[in-house]
Amino acid sequence: MTLCPCSSGLDFVACCGPILKGTPAMTAEALMRARYVAFVGGDLDFLERTLAAEAKADMDRHAVEAAMKGVEALGFELRAVDGGEEGENSASVEYVARFKSNGKPLAHHERASFRRENGEWLYVSGEVGPKGAPRQAQKVGRNDPCPCGSGKKYKKCCGG
């Protein structure tokens, strides 16, 4: 048994292997995992074949080929999947792809968009280094109850 480089914990033959050989990915997540395996494995044709038309127009094959040289898989971390349920034709997958490039460990964090066309998922675009929603801090007035739960006014408790 050879574990799949996509960090799913499954055997390669039961995970990304069939997708790389041409079986359509059942989910956008499965396609993204297979694209990671293709990148670290040097399968440029698979990466190009799984691009939507508008993404193919932007692909610089020589740059991708150069980036793939000397790459070693370190793991794929799934952060979030949005959409792609039965009957839906779009989804996004947020992930962190970790690999070594020429001996240096690197991480690629992206929120990738996918579209299903003719029953197959395709990579449309990606936002590198996506940011979450900014945290909102609640402002406490001097005469408001103290957020520590003491029952006292803020000015007589933690605000003093």
The pLDDT of residue 144 is 87
Q: Which of 61, 82, 77, 100 is nearest to 7 (CA)?
A: 77
> Do residues 48 and 59 lie in contact, with contact meaning Cβ atoms separated by under 8 Å?
yes
The dihedral over CA atoms of 10, 119, 48, 108, expressed in degrees to the nearest 10, equals -50
> Taking the model in full, what pTM does it have?
0.80
> pLDDT tens digits, residue range 62-71?
999 999 988 9
On the question of pLDDT at 142 being above 90, the answer is no
Q: Which of 86, 94, 78 is nearest to 119 (CA)?
A: 86
Give just the sign of the alpha carbon dihedral 80, 16, 63, 100. positive
Give just the sign of the alpha carbon dihedral 79, 83, 87, 88. negative
On the question of pLDDT at 145 being above 80, the answer is yes
> pLDDT tens digits, residue range 17-71?
999 999 999 999 999 999 999 999 999 999 999 999 999 999 999 999 999 988 9
